[in-house]
Structure 1
Amino acid sequence: MSRTIGLALGLAMLGSTATPAQDLPGDPERGRAIAVRWCIACHEIDRGVREPSTVDAPTFQAVADDPAVTELALRAFFQTPHRDMPNLQPSAEDKADLIAYILSLKGRPDG
Structure 2
Amino acid sequence: MTRTGILPGAIAVALVLAFFDEGTTADLARGRGIALRWCGECHVVAPGQFHGSDSVPTFAQIGGAEHFNEARLSDFLTSPQHSRMPNLSLTRSEIADLVAYIKAQHH
TM-score range, shorter chain: 0.5 to 0.7
Kindly report the root-mean-square deviation, in angstroms, between the aligned alpha carbons of the 2 structures: 2.5
Which one-letter code corresponds to 2:29 in the other structure?
Answer: E
Looking at structure 2, the residues matched to 102 and 73 of structure 1 have their Cα atoms a distance apart, in angstroms, of 12
Which residue number corresponds to residue 13 of structure 1? none
More helix by share: 2
Larger Rg: 2
**Residue-pair matches, total:** 83
Do structure 1's residue 93 and structure 2's residue 93 form an aligned pair?
A: yes
Give distance in 1, aligned partners of 2:102 and 2:52: 17
Output the CA distance in 1 between the equivalents of 2:69 and 2:29. Answer: 18
- 1:42 is matched with which residue? 42
Quick one: distance in 2 between partners of 1:84 and 1:59?
15
Partner SS, residue 88 of structure 1: coil
Q: Which residue of 1 aligns with 2:32?
A: 32
CA separation of 1:71/1:55 partners in 2, compared to 1, >3 Å: closer, same or farther?
A: same
The answer to whether the 8 Å contact 1:52/1:59 transfers is no
Higher RCO, 1 vs 2 (CA within 8 Å, ≥6 residues apart): 1
- The CA deviation string for residues 11-32 of structure 1, in whole angstroms up to 9 with x for no partner, is xxxxxxxxxxxxxx51111101
Structure 1's consecutive aligned runs of 4 or more residues displaced over 6 angstroms after TM superposition are: none
Which residue number in structure 2 is paired with residue 84 of structure 1? 84
SS in 1 for 2:37: helix
Letter matched to residue 63 of structure 2: A
- The Cα shift of 1:52 comes to 8.5
- Whether the aligned pair in 2 keeps the contact of 1:52 and 1:58 (CA below 8 Å) is no
- What is the aligned-residue identity percentage? 37
Q: How much has 1:55 moved relative to structure 2?
A: 5.2
Query: If the length of structure 1 is used for normalisation, what is the TM-score?
Result: 0.64
Q: Which residue of 2 aligns with 1:12?
A: none
Contact 2:78–2:95 (CA under 8 A) maintained in structure 1? no
In 1, Cα distance between equivalents of 2:37 and 2:97: 13
